[in-house]
Amino acid sequence: MNPSIIESEKQDWKNQLKHSIKNISDLIDFFGYDNIKNSPYEFILTKEYLDVFEKIQQGFRFKVTRYYLQLANINDPFCPILLQVLPHPNEIADPYFKDKDPLKEEIHSPISNLVHRYPDRVLWYISHHCAVYCRFCLRKRKVSNPASNTFRKNISDVIDYIKNQPTIKEVILSGGDPLSLEDDSIESILHQLKNIPHLYSIRIHTRMLVTLPHRITKNLCKIFDEYYPITVVTHFNHPKELTEIVYEKVRLLRKSGVLVLNQSVLLKNINDDVKILEELFLKLIQFGIKPYYLHHCDEVQGTSHFRVKLEKALDIIKELQGRNPGIAIPKFMVDLPEGGGKVPLTPVYLKEFDREKKEYIFYNYEFKNLYRIKDL
């Protein structure tokens, strides 16, 4: 393991957040001016990029933990870490995606901070903070903006709403990152939710395991154990993000009875490659994390440079079938615009129905041979 990553284990998570990199000068200091000047990221040093950076900051801030940045390779033009965190000119001049809320979450918010799009579940926005601000973020319109988070002002309203909607079976705690809250706030929320009899599931969506695994403390896991069962859905996009510290923190969660799932986003030039995803998904199950979803990147303003064509995405999923164990293949999900909701998209293995013989004709996973199943 990188010695600097080992050193970072000595710092608590709050101290690491305090010393996050939040501007260009910190970024230059971190890597060293000469190292950047002789790298594919020399553009960071130009006045043109600095001007773009400052404009982007006004809408969606830049922040990255030193732990996460230590995983980066400044000499790799396609470094999966840097490409996820460096602001891009498209963020202020996207030629394709113009909508800040393509999934229409605001329309489906009956009260502030709560999205109720499906009858059986709600998403509760409880923090505008993240350890790292990912440039492909779905909620760039809110995340990093303190004015977007009125969570503490209407906790009782949200709880009352959930109590009065018996069709709600699941609550998803999201943001931002819910684990940016203090332990006592998380415990209070879990306590109130667990007292609602018609709730079957509580999910916590967090990227802290990826960007600041030190947040997974023994005390936090003790809280999760007390309110068992809890599902943590994390967000690894590349094998480089799975470090030894992550392995230990996942073990801690699993020992506390937490089910750990992963949702990735398919990102151009970062993980849109069969071998990279094969390694990622295999490594996830090796760490004790179930690959759950692989998302098609949403049509959020300023993110079109991350978008992978659907045809290529389906080809990747097709190739993974048979290469990875079933447990290491997530569902490929498309979140439909205009609030249509998530739908799974899979390669079509059913070729046709032979009406004369009353047989269904299928391809197998290789899409080479055909197989027939009788329709009784």
Instruction: Say which residue the tokens 């990227």 belong to.
Output: 207
Separation of alpha carbons 128 and 148, rounded Å: 7
Secondary structure of residue 272 in the 3-state scheme: coil
CA distances from residue 247 to 56, 324, 326 in whole angstroms, order as listed: 34, 21, 22
Separation of alpha carbons 50 and 33, rounded Å: 15
Q: Would you please indicate which residues are annotated as catalytic (active-site) residues? A: 117-118, 121, 130, 134, 137, 139, 298, 335, 342
Q: Is 58 left (phi over 0), alpha (psi -120 to 50) or beta?
A: alpha
Separation of alpha carbons 206 and 214, rounded Å: 13
Separation of alpha carbons 328 and 324, rounded Å: 6
Output the six-digit token pair for 151: 């969570």
Cβ contact 214:9 at 8 Å: yes
Q: Which amino acid is at 222?
A: K
| E strand or H helix at 315 | helix 310-320
